Amino acid sequence: MYEIMGKTLRRIGRIVTPKVFNVHVTKYHSRGDHFKHSIRARMTTAHYMYYARSHDWDLFAALEEMLDQLERNVKRDKERRLDKRKRKKRS
């Protein structure tokens, strides 16, 4: 679990510098031995705060989905900043 998070945070770290990374995991809706897992994350950087959440019956599937969502949010904001900078240059 920590390896998966570390790998994603290294990829995100190339774009922005994470300051604080909080992950909250809860389980609910038990079906015998199985639980539904809910994962929420908050990552603070120097300029922004990013949020992501996911839920699934498989803990690792929920974790992967949440980390993918977090990485997409960071990349989307990077593209927005670059587009904004390009528009200022044209003016």
CATH number at residue 12: 3.30.160.100
- Quick check: is 13 in a domain? yes
pTM equals 0.85
- Quick check: is 10 in a domain? yes
Both tokens of 45, joined, read 């950087």
Q: What kind and span of H or E run contains 88?
A: helix 59-90
- Quick check: is 90 in a domain? no
CA count, 13 A, side-chain hemisphere, 4? 11
- Quick check: is 87 in a domain? no
Q: Which domain holds residue 29?
A: 2-82
- Quick check: is 54 in a domain? yes
The tens place of each residue's pLDDT in the chain, 91 residues long, gives: 889 989 999 999 999 999 999 999 999 888 788 889 999 999 999 889 999 999 999 999 999 999 999 999 999 999 998 888 777 777 6
- Quick check: is 25 in a domain? yes
Number of domains in the chain: 1
